Structure 1
Amino acid sequence: MSTTLTPIIMPKWGLEMKEGTITAWLVDVGAVIEVGTPLMEVETDKISNAVEAPDPGLLRRKVAQEGQTLPVKALLGVMADAAVSEAEIDTYVANYVVPAVATSEDDDPPPYSFADIDGLHVRYARRGLGDGVPVLFLHGFGGDLDNWLFNLDVLAEVAPVIALDLPGHGQSTSRLPGTALADLASFVVHFLDELHVERVHVVGHSMGGAIASQMTLDYPGRVASLALINSAGLGTEINAGYTEGFVAATSRRELKPLVEQLFANPELVSRSLLENLLKYKRLDGVPELLQALSAAQFGSGQQAEQPGLRLGGVGKPVLVVWGREDRIIPSSHAVHAPAGATVEVLEGAGHMTMMERANEINALLKRHVTG
């Protein structure tokens, strides 16, 4: 165990996070902490989640109190060996200065950019350095690029990353290029053309996974590898009650029990998450396009297209990850992964595995894209 003092700090989740609120400590002073131990629950304006220990140690001091709202990088607690005195910890806490979040434009680029593709205004984010093959993230039905808030910065440590709001989602134009997967896959390729990106590792979640699979089939030269997370397109079953209910919901009361189905732990659904979804669903054109897209892809109560079942001959590295407790698309669909794919089914996770089990997902994706 370390003899030095190790700070526990407010993490930065996503491109826009500035602060978080401590809702509950999950460990007591004196607890022996392992890497990955959930330490406390923090709520942001996007989601609630657990802060996990990046280092091992002995928890000696809780600095942040439940109910406090603190900025990114603020001191939340201190780990130290038992030999470290309380006076030394007092001095450390008193002298701790919250590191400045980058203030210059060079150090802190705008979190999002916009591009016009096929007459549609599209929000996207780029992170990471180097000239390697970028990792492209595609969200699912009714989502946006912020669904990857726990993943983008971590993957940017090993490769350039790109994430976009698909047409009709997030802050992109509330209009679709078509409701077929081929239409959406073609649009994504046109988006890459606009960014002058030739090839990508594609990571797709839910409907985004089906789009990624279709893109791999239709444009194999543009895809270096494919990662599917709780993906549509690998079977016919889907929770039609969720998709139809999500389209129809117009109030927080109606939306809350639906969104809770996305997570193994429904407590991760914050009021802010619901309010943001309602704001999106009330935008002009959004209810109609969600209805059209849902009818085309899931209108019969089943998935209309299964491009993932045709991946066997593409000759690409494929990673398939599922949350065992997915209540939207059954985790049993993982058995339909193409021969030779790496398949991982994670216990204690639902449909939003990349949020609920971010550390495991990030480790799997890093291994996948670095070969």
Structure 2
Amino acid sequence: MSTYITPIVMPKWGLEMREGTVQDWLVAEGERIEVGQPLLDVDTDKISNAVEATDAGLLRRIVAQSGDTLPVKALLGVLADSEVSDAEIEAYIAAYEVPAAGDDEEDSGPAFDYVDVGGIRVRYARRGPEQGTPVLFIHGFGGDLNNWLFNLDAIAAKHPVIALDLPAHGQSQAALPGASVDALADFVRGFLEAAHVNGPVHVVGHSMGGAIAMQMAVSAPAQVASLALVSPAGFDSEINSGYTDGFVQAQSRRELKPVLEQLFADPELVSRQMIDDLLKFKRMDGIEPLLAELAGTLFKDGRQSAILADRLAGVDKPVLVLWGKDDRVIPSAQAARAPAGAQVILFDATGHMAMLEKASEVNAALLRHLAGG
């Protein structure tokens, strides 16, 4: 009868997640569950998120309790039809074993790869099938490829996925090929060549990464199959210089925390681990001067210096624009400057990090966009 029992397990969000802490269950035992329904909130060392149902069924047993810290794939709860007995469910729970790391194909390869691009060492990750047009994810100023931790696996289920740490970001080398959007776009194109990514790619860019994506489409349209832009820079000149300057200048948790809170509609999403990770990154040799150089070029005098929206209008590519209505870094009103024919989606109660705050909605929109819908 165990074939009628479906486990709810701790998901793996991102390439580095090893465990999560259960917060609150959003459903009760005896409730009928639908696919995609939020079941419980889980905290990771990066950010909190809701675990969504991947299967429909009757929630017969909640196994993990609030406060439990459990490894990826640990049993959280059990779905089973009403005819399955309590004894069978108890036996299933007692026999359940967390799969060991490496048991699944997804764990068989290295989480990250490195490649040299013009003398700069770059960290990147590749996931998904080998066939198909790759989807390239480009993060924003001060970020890294982990900004996409809720998105990469969802898109990689159907498409080849590649995400990089831009130079002077994440675990890529503390060096810049230049501080302009044009120089960064040329660098990303060089990265694709060095990583043996041939042919056009779908480009997904967030914030500064959105401006880089647009510049790639303008300067090398044959290399870009489509654009998906999340709170992109490059649509208009206004930007919150209090955020960009504050990020560069912050030297302590006390200084950085209120800066990071500007990224989210819900400031509670800024965890102590997030603050510590970014402080550690900023304290790496050579990073702060390079961030200051980037900010000084891209956001000179508190304004965006590279405005690409008008130039994008001449590029015949599918464009998806996603923006949080409560974005306090780049105003969502700039979405009105999207090119004619672009699909624009604005999210309620969402700030600058829609891919984290509204992950399932963003993933669904991306998959429709990539499928040509």
Contact 1:214 1:308 in 2 (8 A): no
- The separation in 2 between residues aligned to 1:106 and 1:52, in whole angstroms, is 20
1:138 and 1:172 mapped to 2: Cα distance? 13
User: Quick one: distance in 1 between partners of 2:366 and 2:264?
Assistant: 21
- The one-letter code matched in structure 1 to 2:334 is H
What is the deviation of 1:358? Answer: 1.2
Q: Note the C-alpha offset of 1:309.
A: 3.0
Identify the residue that residue 267 of structure 2 maps to in structure 1: 266
Distance 1:106 1:316, change over 3 A: closer
- Per-residue Cα deviation, 1:171-222 (whole angstroms, up to 9, x for no partner): 1111111111000000001111112223211100000000100111111111
State the match for 1:125 in structure 2. 125
Equivalent residue for 2:251?
A: 250
Residue 97 of structure 1: how far off its partner (Å):
2.1
Q: 1:71 to 1:106 in 2, by over 3 A?
A: closer
- Within 5 Å, which residues of 2 pair with 1:330-345? 330-345=331-346
**8 Å CA contact retained: 2:35, 2:53:** yes
Structure 1 residues not aligned, in runs of 5+? none
> Distance in 1 between the 2:153 and 2:325 partners?
26
The aligned residue for residue 69 of structure 1 is 69
Structure 2 counterpart of 1:333, one-letter code: Q
Distance in 1, matches of 2:263 and 2:80, equals 38
Pairwise CA distance, 1:130:
2.6
Structure 2 portions without partners, runs of 5+ = none
Q: 1:266 to 1:60 in 2, by over 3 A?
A: farther
| 1:131 alignment partner AA | Q
Give the equivalent residue in structure 1 for 2:309. 308
Residue equivalent to 1:156: 156
Corresponding residue for 1:44?
Answer: 44
Aligned twin of 2:282: 281
Give the drift of 1:113.
0.6
Question: Does residue 136 of structure 2 align to residue 136 of structure 1?
Answer: yes
8 Å Cα contact 1:48/1:269 also seen in 2:
no
Greater alpha carbon shift after TM alignment, 44-53 vs 99-108: 99-108
Q: Which moved more, 1:219-228 or 1:51-60?
A: 51-60
Does the CA-based 8 Å contact 2:101-2:107 persist in structure 1? Answer: no
Counterpart of 2:364?
Answer: 363
Q: Deviations over 1:115-172 (max 9, x none)?
A: 1111111101111123321111000000001111111111112221111000110011
- After TM superposition, list the pairs within 5 Å mapping 1:317-356 onto structure 2: 317-356=318-357
Amino acid of the structure 2 residue aligned with 1:236: S
Counterparts of 1:34 and 1:267, CA distance in 2: 28
Whole-Å Cα distance in 2 between the matches of residues 55 and 324 of structure 1?
31
Q: Is the 8 A contact 2:263 2:328 kept in 1?
A: yes
Q: Distance in 1 between matches of 2:133 and 2:187?
A: 20
Structure 1 position 190 matched with structure 2 position 190: yes
| Percentage of matched positions with identical amino acids | 61
| C-alpha RMSD of the superposition | 1.8
2 CA distance for matches of 1:101 and 1:114? Answer: 22
C-alpha separation between the residues in 2 aligned to 1:288 and 1:93? Answer: 54
**Corresponding letter in the other structure for 1:309:** D
Structure 1 partner of 2:146: 146
Q: Which amino acid aligns with 1:43?
A: D
Question: CA offset at residue 308 of structure 1?
Answer: 2.7
Contact 1:204 1:210 in 2 (8 A): yes
- Is residue 22–residue 40 contact of structure 1 (8 Å, CA) maintained in 2? yes
- Amino acid aligned to 2:211: A
Query: 39-48 vs 337-346, which deviates more?
Result: 39-48
How far apart are 1:273 and its partner, in Å?
Answer: 1.2
| TM-aligned CA deviation for residue 38 of structure 1 | 2.4
- What's the CA shift string for 1:243-285, capped at 9, x where partnerless? 1111111111111121122112222222111111110010111
Q: Trace 1:96-135 onto structure 2 (pairs within 5 A).
A: 96-103=96-103, 108-135=108-135
TM-score (norm 2): 0.94
2:8 pairs with 1:8:
yes
Q: Is 1:233 the counterpart of 2:241 in the alignment?
A: no
* Structure 1 position 321, deviation (Å): 0.8
The alpha-carbon distance between structure 1 residues 106 and 13, as it changes in their structure 2 partners (threshold 3 A), is closer
Evaluate the alpha carbon distance shift between residue 142 and residue 8 of structure 1 in structure 2; reply closer, same or farther with a 3 A threshold: same
Question: Per-residue deviation at 1:304?
Answer: 1.1
Q: 1:226 to 1:104 in 2, by over 3 A?
A: closer
Looking at structure 2, the residues matched to 61 and 338 of structure 1 have their Cα atoms a distance apart, in angstroms, of 50
- In the alignment, does 2:220 pair up with 1:215? no
1:96 Cα deviation (Å)?
Answer: 1.7
- Rounded to whole Å, the distance in 1 between the matches of 2:59 and 2:268 is 25
CA contact (8 A) 2:238 2:331 kept: yes
